[in-house]
Structures are given as structure tokens and as C-alpha cells.
Amino acid sequence: MPPHLRPRTLLVLILGQLFIALAAEAAELGFGEMYQFPIGAHGLRPTAKLLALDGHQVHLHGYVAREEQPVSGRLILVPVPVLLAGEDEALADDLPANAVFVHWSGGRFAPPASGHLGLTGTLRVGVAEEADGRLSMIRLYLDTAQTFNALGIQH
Amino acid sequence: MSLARPLLAALLSLPILASAAPVVSRLTPPSELFASGAPSPVIARFLPDQRFDLQATIQPDAGQTVTSFEFAVDGMPVKVASERRGIVTQGLVKGLPENTAVVSVRAYAHGKPGLHTLTVTATQSDGQRANAQGNFEVVPLLARNGKPARNIIFMLGDGMGATQRTAARIMARGYAQGKARSPLAMDTFPVTGMVMTSSLNSIVTDSSPGMSNYVTGNKAANNQEGVWPDDTVDVFDNPRVEYLAEYLHRKHGKALGIVTTADVFDATPAANAVHTANRGHGTGIADQYLDDRHLTGLAVLMGGGRKWFLPNVADSTKPQAINGSQRRGANDYVLPDDIVAAWGAAKGAKDPQRDLIADFERAGYAYASDAGTLRQLAGKADKLLGLFAYSNMNVAHDKIGGRRGTSNIVAEYGFPDQPMLDEMTAAALDVLARQPKGFFALIEGASIDKQAHLMDSDRWILETLEFDRAVQVAKDFASRHGDTLVIVTADHECAGAAIIGAATVSNAQLRAKVGTGTAAEQRDQVVGVYEAAGFPRYRLLADGYPETTDIDRRMLIGYGANADRHETWLTSAQPTQDVQQPFVGQAPLNAYPANPTLRNKDQGFLVTGQVPGDQAVHTATDVPLSAFGPGAELFTGVYDNTDVFFKMARILGKSR
């Protein structure tokens, strides 16, 4: 084994290949599989599965966070129903740390302001600034054609 | 030919004769004298030697610039070192004339009690002058009989009006033939008065001035804390007024403790230590807690909001350095030099990459990330930082459910071991009691308000119960230490909550009605008013919280400041008011609610709201304030929230 390939790195690579193989179709990803829980004293620690699925098709089930001031072309998917009260709370909110920011463009996709959804798209892992000033850690870019077909939406 | 007309026309064409004079469009501190010409009411009031900024906005004539300015108090020019004076012509709000100047003298203080006039005179480049007059009052520290207090514990139930207190008593104590079986802890305080809560710019306040007014003695505008409005875009350069904690630390060496169940950057905790015109600038607010601890004496900071304390490292490579940080340069702070020089405040920097937890630890703060760590630190920490959640802490209903094993909400959030507010209060007082010169502590039950906004009755009642248990801890401390004043109050009432009666049906019958969606079924056959309400009886477990809130003949809450909602009267399984979330999955779009902004549609009956949007709002209703300890007698009557500041100062006395 090359000296620079430490056991931990090998494990990540093996797991990554396994997940990629399983994700030939969209891989199922649960909110409990994104970060090591409980959350660490110094912040979030992504799981190997999450990192391995970066850039791949995933399928997520979750609740649409209800936003007082929604951002066009984006919704936030969360493991439990949440209402974000922007005017009185600013960012002192009840949004869980493992929220997924879902983006799409084009089409006539009018998502519900609340409710439970199953969505498929390309997963992106990494820090990005959203239009409302939040920083997202995980984003899902919808395959709008596939999503619209699945939801029976004309586009 | 006469030369008079041409000569007169030539003279009139000279700018000095054709222009208007420059204008003072704002004078700070605010005064009714400046605003309308009326000498009363006096808006700005201060303790002797309490620091505050003087500021004015000067609009010169077209083509002119402001070349000099002078403030005067009672006709005497205010002379300060040049580094405490500022003139700003860039970064102003839109709509002001070109060359408008915001002129300041920072950290002024006046020691002589009485009413004082404040004038500003500004000169523009052609020599014309503008001046304006306002007033302010220095309130004397009157002596009072009795021992002065050494410590103050300020318990704030956010949004907690009289209804919230009463509902908690009914649930937690029960009634027998019209008598409460026992009082809440806050009911046992010997003195209660009523507080007027309005802000500088509205009868209806928010939590920023709701707290700030109590601890500065001055009105702040909504969304602003420890400052007055100005005409610059920067939210951290507004004219300041000294907080009680800053005044006490500077004058008497007292320490400050801040405990909240909210994100620690939220308005109520921040409006004790950080000066800003925008309560939402989390990075700058979190940073200034630490950076200005020499001004406030901060010894304890606990709550949620870990996301502001984690470094946001830019330009990371795979694997990405994700840690959940929400720090951004855009809401960080850098102060102008005149504030730094005059107030001794830290300059600041746009540093999203800062590891604020590590900086707190390097400054000697012990860091607790969960309840277990907090218990281990008992008796060992001289300074304490506790960050128990990513943003707001979970509510009491869900924390208790996690401890009982009946709910997995706290686990879903990733923070299964969060302390209760009474545990946090005990830990804070353990540290603060060892401060050599005494302390001022702010203890906030934050989600009474947040859950009242959501009209989630059961959750805000339990929040009030959790808050009352913390009140008991504070009262016990004050009973052991005879030099401690405890105040229990609110920043405002939320949602216009009212106890309208009780259900006339069992919980099972209520559940059977879910889905009927009609007032005939879910209101007319359910709501018992007057004698039909009787006395709802909740059973408390050993942990002090109800076994369940879904009892037969449950207490019913209505809302006078409500948004539209569908009411089922049942406790939500999840932390919103949705009783059930039907799995939609791949369903076609026509399965979604026709108006998805209405919660529980087809579950409960429609209650039409008085306010737009999804949430209930704050009200302007006066709130009760209860006091225990030395000086409590000063809190009878009806008074303004700014009056509380001067009462507290009087109770603390001149020096301790």
C-alpha cells in the first residue's frame, strides 16, 4: 500500500465507490445520513456517504420548510416541519443544521409552501451563499424534466 | 438710464442671496422639542455620567459642503478630543441631497441632574449656518430606604403577557373550586406592576427595543438595539447609548451574564451588550460579545447559535470543510475610528474565517456544548460559554419528550442533550455568584414568543412553565443572597392570546373530529365557555411537566392578533401546528392543498385572522412585571419600560 494512502482514506474511497455503484440510479439519502450525529462541539462533520454522493443523483424525502419570505427558484427541505419567521426572527430560527437547499430553473414548477416531498436531483456538497444571505452546506439541483414527469406537471 | 434694476438683479443672482440656508434634518438624541417644537414629553433620559452619542444630519445647500459643526449643551460648547468627533459624507442612505453630512460627538456624558437643551450649529462652505435645538434629561439617582442591591437577575419571558402566565398556572398548578392549588414561582413575587412597551417608532415593539429600552433608559426603534436611528448605511456605526451592563461594569466593576433559549445573537440577548441598527447581523453581533467584554464584563453567555461561532473557511478543497458556519463578512462589523476612540470598543474586522469558540476559550471561557458538559463544569468555571444548538434551542415540549423517550425531535436536530432553562440559570448563577463586584444577569425564555407566533398553544405554555422553573432558581438564589433583586417581565405580549374556555369533549372525540374541517363540528360542539369550561386538569410528572397536553376537556386558547389558521385544538406532533403531514411523495400536483399557506387545511376549521401572513404578531398591550428582593416596592404602578432602567439604577445605589 502506498505510504500516503492511510487506512482512513482507503476506507473513504472504498465506501465512495460502493455508494457510487449503488447510485447508478438515484441513491436514497436520508437526513440522518448526512452528518455525524449528535452534532459535534465544533460543528458539523459530514459522513463518508454524503461526501461520496457529491455530484451524483440522489433522492431525498423531506418536508418543505415554510418561509415567510420565500426565495424564487429555491426551497428548503428539512427532516421535520419548520416555519421560518423572517420578520421577527432574522436568522434566529428553528432551521435544522441538516437542511438541504433545493434549486431548480426553468419550467413551471410551483412547489407547495409546505408538505412532504420526494425529490430527485444532483447533490452538491460544500459551502455556498444563498440569495437570502444564508450559507448552505448541501444543495440539490433538480432534474426538472424528471421531477416534473414524476409529479405529473406539464412543462 | 437708471442702474438700480440691473444692479438689484445682479445682486439677487449672487448665490448667497438666492439660496436657502442649510437644514438640520435629524438631531440625536431624539427629542420632541426637535421633532415638533413641544418641550415634552422628554424622550431621551440618562443617568448621571451615562454615556451617549450626539449626532446630527446636516443638509447643505446645493453646491455647498459642511465645513464645521458644534454641539452645545445649555449654551456651553461641547469640547472633546478630535478623535471623538466624526463627520461622514459617504455611505449615507439614499435620497439625501449631495454633500449631506452626518456629524457626531461620541460618548458624551452629563453629570448634572435636570433638563438640558442640546443645540447643534453647522456651517457650510459659503458661511451660512444651520442650527437646531433639542433637549434631554439627566435623572438623579435618588436615595431610597433599605439596603441597596448588589446583583440584578432580569428574567424576561419573551412575548409573555398576562394570558401566558395564567395559562401556565392553570396547566401546571390546577384549580379547585376557583382557587389555584398553588402559585407559579412568579406569582409569589410580592410586587407586580404593569409596563408600557412601545418602541421609538411604533406602539407595537419588537424584541430589540423590547429589551433595549429596559437596559438603556431610552427608546430604540424596531429592529435596533442600544442605538438610535441615523442616516448611514452601516448598521454598527449608529449613535450609541450606554447599556446598564456597560455602565455598571465601568462604574462598579460588575459582571454580565446572558442566558437564553434562543440563538444567542437574537435580539433579546444581544440588546444587553451589542449596539446595532440591525438585529440580523449575526456575525458582527457574535463577535462583539467577545471583543467588547472589557466594556460589558461578560462572564456568561449561553444559549443556541453555535453556527455563528464556527469558522467559515473560504476556498476549501475536497473534502470540503463543512462545519455549519453561517459567518459571513457581509454581516460582520468594522467600527469607525471615532467610536473606537470614544467608547474604547474593539475596531473589529470582516473575518468570517474566525474560530470564535477557540477565541472564547483562549480568553478563559470554559465551553459547554451540551447539558452533560455543563454539569461537569459546575463550580469550576470563572467564565462560561454554552452553545447548545445550531440556532434556537429546541422548545421545552420537545426537550422533555427527548428526555422521556417519547419524542425524537431533539435527536432529529442532532442535539439530543440540551439543558433546560432552569439548569442553565443555575449554572450561570454559580459562575456569577463568584464575581467580586456583583452582576447583572439576563435570563430569557425565548420561545414563549416564537411558539405564540405559530399559535402553538401547548408549546408556548410549556415554554412558560420552563421559564417559571428558571424563575424559581433565581428566587431561591435571591432568598439565599439578600442583596439580589429579581425582576420577571416581558418585552411585549405576543399573539393577543386569550384563555377562551375549555373543550367540552374528550381527547378521543377531538381526534375523531379531525378532518371534518367545519366550525359546526370543531368549534360549536367543542368550545365550552363560561361555566362549561370548568377546570381543566393536567397531570404533572416528576420532571415538573405535564404527562400530556392532550387531556380530556383541555384548556382552549384563542388569539386576537392571529393570522389565518385551521384549528384542531390538538397538540402538534411536530414543532409546527400541523397535526399530520400526509406523505405526498410522487403524488400529482392536484393532491396539494389548493392554498398551501393555510396550515391544517381539511384537518381543522378555518379561523380567519386579523393580520396577513402565516403568523400571529406582537401586540401593544401592557405586560406585567413582578419583582422580588431589595427595591421591589419601586415596581408598583403603571410605567414605561424605560422607567425600569432608572428604578434598577436607584436600587443598585451609587456604588457597591
pLDDT band at B329 (very low <50, low <70, confident <90, very high): very high
Contact in structure between B44 and B80 (CB atoms under 8 Å): no
pLDDT at A33 (0 to 100): 95
Per DSSP, helices labelled H in B514-632 are 519
A46 touches chain B (CB under 8 A): yes
Residue-wise pLDDT tens digits, B67-120: 999 999 999 999 999 999 999 999 999 999 999 999 999 999 999 999 999 999
Instruction: Select from B315, B326, B327, B448 the residue whose CB has the most chain A CBs within 10 Å, as the one to mutate to test that interface.
Output: B326
Interacting residues of B204 by C-beta distance below 8 A, sequence separation 6+: B198, B492, B617, B618, B619, B620
Q: Is B486 helix (H, G, I), strand (E, B) or coil?
A: strand
Q: Which residues in chain A are closer than 8 Å to B316, comparing Cβ atoms?
A: 126-127
> For the ranges A69-73, A138-142, B47-51, B259-263, which has the lowest average pLDDT?
A69-73
The span from the CA of B133 to the CA of B135, in Å, is: 7
Residue-wise pLDDT tens digits, A97-132: 999 999 988 666 666 666 788 889 999 999 999 998
Contact in structure between B539 and B171 (CB atoms under 8 Å): no
Q: How far is CA B85 from CA B56, B104, B111, B488, in A?
A: 12, 6, 20, 40
ipTM entry: 0.87
Kindly report the number of other CB atoms within 10 A of residue B480's CB atom: 10
The span from the CA of B333 to the CA of B288, in Å, is: 8
Min CA distance, B570 vs chain A (Å)? 16
Instruction: Specify the amino acid at residue B388.
Output: F
Residue-wise pLDDT tens digits, A34-87: 999 999 999 999 999 999 999 999 999 998 898 888 888 899 999 988 888 766
Reported as half-sphere exposure (CB side, CA atoms, 13 A), residue B421 has a value of 34
Among B306, B589, B615, select the one facing A85 at the smallest CB separation: B615
Instruction: Select from B456, B576, B619 the residue whose CB has the most chain A CBs within 10 Å, as the one to mutate to test that interface.
Output: B576
Quote the percentage of chain B above a pLDDT of 90: 85
Treating both helix axes as pointing N-terminal to C-terminal, what angle do B457-480 and B396-404 enclose, rounded to 10 degrees?
Answer: 90
pLDDT at A22 (0 to 100): 46
pLDDT at B83 (0 to 100): 97
The span from the CA of A62 to the CA of A57, in Å, is: 16
Reported as half-sphere exposure (CB side, CA atoms, 13 A), residue B465 has a value of 26
B372 touches chain A (CB under 8 A): no
CB burial string B527-544: b at 16+ within 10 A, e below: bbeeeebeebbbeeeeeb
CB burial string A87-103: b at 16+ within 10 A, e below: ebbbbbbbbbbbbbbbb
pLDDT at B362 over 60: yes
Q: Which residues in chain B are closer than 8 Å to A97, comparing Cβ atoms?
A: 307, 324, 390, 413-414
pLDDT at B584 (0 to 100): 30
Min CA distance, B588 vs chain A (Å)? 5
Reported as half-sphere exposure (CB side, CA atoms, 13 A), residue B50 has a value of 30
Treating both helix axes as pointing N-terminal to C-terminal, what angle do B244-252 and B641-652 enclose, rounded to 10 degrees?
Answer: 20
Exposed, middle or buried: residue B123 (CB in 10 Å: 0-12, 13-18, 19+)?
Answer: buried
Instruction: Select from A9, A34, A39, A108 the residue whose CB has the most chain B CBs within 10 Å, as the one to mutate to test that interface.
Output: A39
The span from the CA of B513 to the CA of B496, in Å, is: 26
Residue-wise pLDDT tens digits, B402-415: 999 998 899 999 99
